[in-house]
Amino acid sequence: MSTLAVVGALIALLGDRITGKPFATRSEVIAQHGMAATSIPLATLAAVDTLRAGGSAVDAAIAANAMQALLEPTGCGLGGDMFALVWDPAKKELVGFNGSGRSPASLTLEELHARKLSHIPPLGPLPVSVPGCVDGWFQLHARFGKLPMERVLAPAIQAARNGAPVTELVAHYWARGAEKLREYPGFAETFLPAGKAPAKGDVFANPRLAATLEALVKGGRDAFYKGDIARRIDAYMKANGGFLSYEDLAEHSGEWVTPVSIGYRGYDVWELPPNGQGIAALQMLELLEGFDVAGAGFGSTQHVHRFVEAKKLAFEDRARLYADPRFMTTSVEALISERYAAERRKLIGARAAKSQPVGNPALEDGDTIYLTTADASGMMVSWIQSNYRGMGSGMTPGDLGFVLQDRGEMFDLTPGRANSYAPRKRPFHTIIPAFVTKNGEPFLSFGVMGGATQPQGHVQIVMNIVDFGMNIQEAGDAPRILHDGSSEPTGERMTEGGRVYLESGFEPEVVRELVQRGHDVGVNVGDFGGYQAIRWDPERRVYLGASESRKDGCALGY
């Protein structure tokens, strides 16, 4: 059997997706008063219970995130960062929050070079940056919350004290990551009860996390950044060769930021500006708007080819131009402009590009959880939170019940670049929430978790709904395209075109034609992201919810 036939047969037999035609693993969830969609059913339930108790969509998002900190530590927790987009119905505007932390003030590029490092390692003390999650909770709650934080965090505190069952996919990733992390002080005591990762259905309790959450209820965000928790983190890091300090924590504050958007065939697609990668999705959509995507048809060779080539172009800019805004030399407005896209679109030909140049927009003068909530007032929240790689750095301070993130791994150690390491600098970020409006009104709150998959997933969801006419559940269940091997913000450069991965559901003939165009097509299971969404129907005045069939979660409303 030829190589092409083998690839086609493998894709057909893997069984991730049953068909390339529109289908749904379940119906959309429909409700009038409120909605939540997360990757953990008990987190979705905590969010809906919060809404039913009179909480806002932000209250519900915090309640869900706290529950996931307990039950999905493989993707999130108090030691990580967060970002959010909030539709404010009172002002009829979308507001953004950047809850990412900065690198330690005492760790320098010279110190990293003295250790003979070409990249910051993913584990241990060096990749740890200031965790921004808790500050984000309290800043968003202060502006949009309705219930006291005691009530918002109560479901997570109770579950952390009494225990709750671990879901199937989380158990898989917990077991896979645990062996790499058990050596780090405090990790096993918190996350490996009886010396091993909990299995599917095991009831897991984390009384350390319960105590930390209770401290936040009593002392607010300052308990974490200026109180006893900060001092314990400082002592732990000093004892274990780390650089994150009390002063780094005390100086932290997340920022309210203005979201940015592009128009795509009558819809406005919104992302947060860097240091995240959200504008890569906008750049890809600007490139693709110049093609007849709908006419090509979902799953066609032309559909896949143009998507992949647009991704390659956007990711060249992502690799070299995106960074902490204080260090960027290129404007976001230029990067997402129609004029710039028109110039870059000329580089998309009939064959796969092995490499692409970084753009010159001046001509225009890392495992995650995603959740979304909506309430009866019309507020909608698009929320993403992460430790970055798996369960984070492994550094598990004191008996606080959480792991510190390893987001600092995303810095480039080559001097003079936008994302080069510097003290007190925000690293390039992969986690991005998304939102879509139509005619100035909310249409869709959504996200696709999963590293570099995220902007690719955002674009595919928008294309599936706008170009291919799918509902929001079909849009998430449709087989996905993943391109890997682009240039990266950490310094790697694409020279051989990368590799295209297709979920089952794409026709073998399409695989054959892609290879003939010069694409390297591979087989992959499990790296296609995790999606949640809520859509507002203004005519019927109902919410529609969708949840990722590749994850453990669900959407619920009332």
Q: Where are the domains of the chain?
A: 3-28+272-368+448-557, 39-256+388-410
Which pLDDT value is given to residue 366? Answer: 40
Dist. CA 402–CA 408, nearest whole Å:
17
- For residue 198, the 8-state DSSP code is P
As a whole-number percent, the residues of the chain with pLDDT over 90 amount to: 78
Q: Which residues are catalytic?
A: 368
**Residue 505 above 90 pLDDT?**
no
DSSP string, 331-348: -HHHHT-HHHHHHHHTT-
Dist. CA 402–CA 391, nearest whole Å:
9
The pairing of strands 499-502 and 521-522 is: parallel
- For residue 428, the 8-state DSSP code is P
Which pLDDT value is given to residue 357? Answer: 74
**Residue 1 above 50 pLDDT?**
no
- What's the whole-number mean pLDDT along residues 366-381? 90
Residue type, 428: F
- Angle at the Cα of 55 from the Cα atoms of 383 and 444, rounded to 5 degrees: 40
**Residue 239 above 80 pLDDT?**
yes
Across the chain, mean pLDDT equals 92
Q: What is the pTM of this model?
A: 0.93
Dist. CA 397–CA 401, nearest whole Å:
8
Residue closest to 440 by CA, chosen among 266, 257, 256, 258: 266
Question: What are the angstrom distances between the C-alpha of 108 and each of 104, 388, 416?
Answer: 8, 21, 14
- For residue 326, the 8-state DSSP code is G
In the three-class reduction of DSSP (H, G, I as helix; E, B as strand; rest coil), residue 430 is classed as: coil
Task: Specify the fold of 3-28+272-368+448-557.
Answer: Serum Albumin; Chain A, Domain 1 (1.10.246)
Residue type, 540: R
First to last CA, the chain: 54
Dist. CA 131–CA 387, nearest whole Å:
9
Query: CA torsion, points 374, 380, 386, 388, in degrees to nearest 10?
Result: 140
pLDDT tens for residues 520-556? 998 777 678 789 999 999 999 999 999 988 899 999 9
Dist. CA 373–CA 448, nearest whole Å:
15
Which pLDDT value is given to residue 159? Answer: 98
Instruction: Quickly count: other Cβ atoms within 10 Å of residue 115's Cβ.
Output: 10
